[in-house]
Structure 1
């Protein structure tokens, strides 16, 4: 009986260690952010571990230097760089708790070990438009 109790105690201790480690990862991810500044130095974007834009700073001079489309492009590109930095940092935080051979980037993207075929949306057999015509006036729906 004592042998079983020791095994249960060891399992509980392992569980608590794993749970504490996971809680630490969650805390680290919750405080993680990635920032980037545009090459012109006028736009700075900060994103969360999930890639959500949390801060955006646009220098007043940006409105004089860039046309609206150029400024929008600078914001998008700078945000993408910040998101990539946050993603890399999140992968580094998650990697130590993953089983060997697990890709932390794929896990964070939600794809883990899924194949491309498993990731593709399922084909809906009811969504065939093969017999539908919209060319005849007043005729809608299937022929």
Structure 2
């Protein structure tokens, strides 16, 4: 291998190692996300972790006297939602630090990357004008595009 190519490979490997460490750092930061929300009267505190999962719920000794059971349940649900929204915002800020300008951190966290909503729809729900193949009508000519390697190319029967 020539010296120029060797240097390029070394730089690529070094870049890969730096990127991998940055990714590991982001994953460690995301794993530590914790956000809490407390009721106005201080009787209830909900804490969520990564992904908005409830990890702690604190009820004061008099929470049951301050709130009727149904109201207390609604309060807990509301506080969990508030804490989850704060945790999601924090996770988005963490991911945004390593994304290129214009990238959507919420989409990355959702696992959809830069795919548009129409690209995520199941094919059978896609609009007919999407350019995807449609099911053939009985009157249609055979379409060689739809053949697989399992079909015999001479008579259309499966192999």
Q: Tell which deviates more after alignment, 94-103 or 82-91.
A: 94-103
Aligned twin of 1:98: 99
Which residue is equivalent to 1:36? 37
2:46 match: 45
Give a deviation string over 1:49-100, Cα, whole Å, max 9, x none: 2111111111121101111110001000000110011111111111121122
* 1: CA distance, partners of 2:63 / 2:50: 27
Note the residue ranges of structure 2 that are not aligned, 5 or more in a row: 126-159
Give the TM-score normalised by structure 1: 0.79
Question: Aligned-pair RMSD on alpha carbons?
Answer: 1.7
Aligned-residue offset at 1:119:
4.0
Tell me, which stretches of 5 or more residues in structure 1 are unaligned? Answer: 125-143
Give, in whole Å, the separation in 1 of the partners of 2:36 and 2:18. Answer: 32
TM-score w.r.t. structure 2 length?
0.72
**Distance in 2 of aligned mates of 1:123 and 1:64:** 54
Which has the higher relative contact order, 1 or 2, with Cα contacts under 8 A spaced 6 or more apart?
A: 1
SS of the counterpart of 1:35? strand
